[in-house]
Structure 1
Amino acid sequence: MANRQDQREKVIQMLADHLLTAGLAQTSLRQLAAACGTSDRMLLYYFADKAEIMTLVLGRVAEQFSSALDQALPPERLPPHVLLQQASALVRTPAMRPTMRLWLDMVAAAARQEQPFPAIATAILHQLMAWIEARLEGPPGPARRQRAAFLLALIDGIAIFDMTGGEAEADAVEQALTDILLP
């Protein structure tokens, strides 16, 4: 039984790597199976259905992203402008671009109500919010949660500019927001 679980874990990681490279365009069962060198029948041996596959694989990508954030940014609470500077700089790095592209791809699929992406995107959004909220200065409560939502929207917006050829605009937004958020 451990062998099946080990193989399942390997498949999840291979598919996470595949999605980071190919995005959501290559997600038929056959394409997913080909990406990890197996058949679609074997995928369904390891997983109940495509929804479970996508949930687990995108969950793995989110875990890896959270781990990279944890490694790159200090765990202590920071003022909003410092957290914005550090997080937006991080998501603009070449190493994070595939994750951010996949995140935006998933958000677009969720907006179109393509299953299972609305539930997955919501879960990841809550994880990101909790991560930001845990690193923001100030007492817990609605005000800190609002600041976390504001920062997440800004970070995603800066990433959109950056990934669509608007690096100068992303830089300008980052600087303007840092100026606004300075205490």
Structure 2
Amino acid sequence: MTTTSDPASPPATGRRRLLELVADHLLAHGASDLSLSELARAVGSNNRMLLYYFGSKEEVLQQATLVAFERFPILEGALRRLRTDDGALRDRLLRVWADIAHPDNRPFLALFFQAFGVALYHPERNAELFQRLGGEWVAEVQQALEAEAVPADRARVLATQLVTAWRGLQVSLLAGAPRDLLDASYADLVDRLLPVEK
């Protein structure tokens, strides 16, 4: 945590306030390729202040997207519940998709994919974001599978398949595919991937 005794570190309260404002703006208007100046004006700030707190436009967008994520508790807790809830692994995996696809999460899902699309135009500036997207969920799902006695190598493959499926299902959901068809497709995939439960 930053302190006022460290003049090189921006105060946490001002930084958080700006992140909340940027998150508000992104959820309301999306993450189209705004200039830093446009973004600063939209939240009542200026370029210099945003750069002071975040260093770059890419960093403020990434950090604000994480703040926005915190506002969607059903989505934010989906993987935690996979690891901690009782019940059969199959049922918990189906619950993850149900949590992700909950209608309340639609604004964040739209923001996530728009921000991801914008980031693709500047991969050299967004390496950390891509690393997070490619690894964090996979690692968490792998841990949940290993806790069910799935061997580590197999758990890594299954986790990658499941996370990849969730990403594709989210895109289809946002594009208007029928929810019941997506649910049935995912359930079929889970049944094909999982070892038979005794």
- The interval holding the TM-score normalised by the smaller chain is 0.7 to 0.9
TM-score by length of structure 1 reads 0.79
Q: Give the C-alpha shift of residue 50 in structure 1.
A: 1.7
Asked if 1:41 corresponds to 2:52, the answer is no
Asked if 1:159 corresponds to 2:166, the answer is no
Q: Give the C-alpha shift of residue 120 in structure 1.
A: 0.7
Q: Give the C-alpha shift of residue 71 in structure 1.
A: 6.3
Distance 1:176 1:61, change over 3 A: same
More displaced, 109-118 or 143-152?
109-118
Matches within 5 A, 1:122-137: 122-136=131-145, 137=148
Alpha-carbon distance in 1 for matches of 2:83, 2:152: 21
Distance 1:154 1:129, change over 3 A: same
Matches within 5 A, 1:8-157: 8-25=15-32, 27-61=34-68, 67-69=76-78, 73=82, 75=84, 81-136=90-145, 137-139=148-150, 141-157=152-168
Alpha-carbon distance in 1 for matches of 2:47, 2:55: 12
Structure 2 unaligned residues grouped into runs of 5+:
5-9
Of the three residues 166, 174, 180, the one matched with 2:186 is 174
Aligned to 1:24, what secondary structure does the other structure show? coil
AA paired with 2:104? Answer: A
Q: Give the C-alpha shift of residue 35 in structure 1.
A: 3.4
Report the number of matched residues: 183
Q: Give the C-alpha shift of residue 152 in structure 1.
A: 0.4
Structure 1 unaligned residues grouped into runs of 5+:
none
Q: CA RMSD in A?
A: 3.0
TM-score by length of structure 2 reads 0.74
Distance 1:80 1:107, change over 3 A: farther
> What CA deviation, in whole Å up to 9, does each residue of 1:120-164 have, x standing for no partner?
122233111122222222246221111110110111122121111
Q: Which has the higher helix share?
A: 1
Taking only the aligned residue pairs, the percentage that are identical comes to 26
Distance 1:76 1:160, change over 3 A: same
Alpha-carbon distance in 1 for matches of 2:128, 2:86: 29
By relative contact order (CA 8 Å, sep 6+), the higher-ranking structure is: 1
Contact 2:65 2:112 in 1 (8 A): no
Alpha-carbon distance in 2 for matches of 1:51, 1:122: 14
Bigger Rg, which one = 2
